[in-house]
Amino acid sequence: MRGEAPSLSVKMLELLVCPRSHGSLVYDETAQELTCKRSLLAYPVRDGVPILLESEARAIED
C-alpha cells in the first residue's frame, strides 16, 4: 500500500457536493480529483482529503 494514494469512502462521496452548483461529485481516482458536471470544475484530493475551494479548482472542458 506504500506509495498509493488514499481512497475516498463511498459514504463520504455521497455526502459531498460541489460548493458552486451543489451538484454531485464524481471521484477520479487516477487524477485524484472530484469533478462536477454542472459547474465544470474539478477539485483536487490531496492525501485523501477533498479540497472543495473554488480557488483550488480547475476548469474542465464540456
Amino acid at 61: E
- pLDDT the model gives residue 1: 45
pTM (two decimals): 0.86
Amino acid at 33: E
Q: What is the DSSP string of 38-58?
A: TTTEEEEEETTEE---TTT-E
**Domain ranges, ordered by start, for the chain:** 10-59
- Tens-digit pLDDT profile for residues 5-61: 677 888 989 999 999 999 999 999 999 999 999 999 999 999 999 999 999 999 998
Cα 55 from Cα 1, distance rounded (Å): 31
CATH 2.40.420.20 is held by the domain 10-59: no
pLDDT confidence band for 4 (50 / 70 / 90): low
